[in-house]
């Protein structure tokens, strides 16, 4: 399943790259991209575990960029 999300308060391109790398390491994630320019994130992950994976994504993003919010 591939989904796109809007991001709010992502401050720099370096943080976006760190978030993308961390998300790609989560088990069950096939691919991910985080764009600082468009303030968007897309995640391609296993359908059955998608909600569980998104909880980990939120936690990972909060570690890298505490002010950044993922808008569902």
CATH number for the domain that contains residue 14: 3.30.70.100
Domain extent, residue 6, equals: 2-71
Of the pLDDT bands very low, low, confident and very high (cuts 50, 70, 90), residue 13 is very high
Whole-angstrom distance, CA of residue 64 vs CA of residue 6? 17
Average pLDDT over residues 53-72: 96
Mean per-residue pLDDT of the chain: 97
Total of domains in the chain: 1
Q: What's the CA angle centered on 20, arms 13 and 54, to 5 degrees?
A: 130
Whole-angstrom distance, CA of residue 14 vs CA of residue 47? 29
Of the pLDDT bands very low, low, confident and very high (cuts 50, 70, 90), residue 43 is very high
């Amino acid at each position: 399943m591939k989904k796109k999300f809007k991001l709010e308060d992502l401050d720099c391109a370096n943080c976006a790259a760190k978030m993308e790398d961390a998300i790609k390491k989560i088990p069950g994630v096939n691919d991910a991209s985080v764009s600082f320019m468009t303030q968007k994130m897309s995640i391609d992950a296993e359908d059955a575990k998608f909600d569980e994976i998104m909880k980990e994504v939120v936690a990972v993003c909060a570690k890298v960029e505490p002010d950044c919010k993922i808008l569902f």
